[in-house]
Amino acid sequence: MNHRRTGVGPHVTKEYAKTAGLKTIIYPVKDLDRAKSLFTALLGVEPYADQPYYVGFKDAGQDVGLDPNGHAKGMTGPVPYWHVSDIRARLRALLDAGAELLQDVQDVGGGKLIASVKDADGNLVGLVQEA
């Protein structure tokens, strides 16, 4: 069992499964074509997903996404996404610990769920649950 402090009190803990780590980072972009060209040059691979609403690359076990609607969703810079096994429980724990909801749980296709919050310092934290 992995115990993590919840911030609720000095001796209060809750049980959570460990995360699968940071495997995804999403960049908000204003010019999707320019950003796609830049990341293709950087990573040396073609995107696995190339849609007007999202372009995704995979490199060295990392998923790098470009979101042309990111700024409108409140993204102020790249957002790291923690991969979790129970997104709703983890989101609830973050909100209980004082995070501000930016995006509630949303299915982005194929059963993949995402959500995001802002911490007290304005840092963005994303969550992903694979199907």
CATH code of the domain in which 58 resides: 3.10.180.10
CA dist., res. 127 & res. 82, Å (int): 5
Identify the residue with better confidence: 118 or 3: 118
pTM of this prediction?
A: 0.79
- Domain holding 68, by residue range, is 20-129
Considering its fold, how many domains does the chain have in total? Answer: 1
**pLDDT tens digits for range 11-54:** 444 556 688 889 999 999 999 999 999 999 999 999 999 999 99
How does residue 8 score in pLDDT terms, banded at 50, 70 and 90? very low
Please report whether residue 100 resides in a domain: yes
Count of alpha carbons within 13 Å of 37, Cβ hemisphere only? 4
Please report whether residue 55 resides in a domain: yes
Please report whether residue 53 resides in a domain: yes
CB of 75 closer than 8 Å to CB of 66: no
Please report whether residue 10 resides in a domain: no
Please report whether residue 30 resides in a domain: yes
**pLDDT tens digits for range 54-88:** 999 999 989 999 999 999 988 889 999 999 999 99
